[in-house]
Amino acid sequence: MPEKVTVNALGYPKLVPKDPVPSDIDVSQQIVREIGLLPIQDVAKQVGLAEDEVIPWGIAKAKVALLARDRRADQPDGNYVVVTGITPTPLGEGKSTTTIGLAQALGAILGRKTIACIRQPSQGPTFGIKGGAAGGGYAQVVPMEEFNLHLTGDIHAVTAASKWLEIAAGESCIPTFSTI
């Protein structure tokens, strides 16, 4: 007898959590590998964006043109929730995890049209200073390594900082990092 496939409120495969929960990077890579990423054009279509309102940046990222706001000027406003000022738990669950978890609950569980907008990570994530600003566990932005390193994050910031140090010192230098 074939195994019954369960789907969430959006019609996608339902997440089956593991116990114990794997590391954040393992969760991210498993989701990308086993479920895959929905093309950003499909995501845009689901939330009602027109093709000319979306500027794709690879398969899973895009910018939204301001004309999207202008086209919807006469539509009623949605709800806007701000998650801020949370002191993270010892395991690191803070603002991003709360934001992504809330968006998942509203979308995948309740079937509401939901968009989570979170800031780009600072330089801290990869160098062990703070969380990755990608959420954590099953409530995270995937693929997390792409979000943390290539959106406009660490690697580019380190390169730019290194160049400024070279200019200031008048010579080449190699940045070194240590965790506290």
Token digits of residue 57: 């940046």
Whether 1 is covered by a domain: the verdict is no
Token digits of residue 82: 């701000």
Predicted confidence (pLDDT) per residue in 48-99, tens digit: 899 999 998 888 888 889 999 899 889 888 888 888 877 777 766 778 888 8
- For residue 105, which of 73, 74, 135, 69 has the smallest C-alpha distance? 135
CATH code, 112: 3.40.50.300
Please tell me the total count of domains within the chain. Answer: 1
Domain assignment of residue 116, given as a range: 24-169
Whether 174 is covered by a domain: the verdict is no
Predicted confidence (pLDDT) per residue in 162-172, tens digit: 655 555 555 55
Whether 48 is covered by a domain: the verdict is yes
Whether 6 is covered by a domain: the verdict is no
Whether 90 is covered by a domain: the verdict is yes
Name which residue leads in pLDDT, 165 or 19.
19
Whether 3 is covered by a domain: the verdict is no
Whether 7 is covered by a domain: the verdict is no
Q: Is the dihedral of CA 42, 93, 120, 155 positive or negative?
A: negative
Whether 147 is covered by a domain: the verdict is yes
Q: Is the dihedral of CA 99, 42, 39, 34 positive or negative?
A: positive
Global confidence as pTM: 0.67
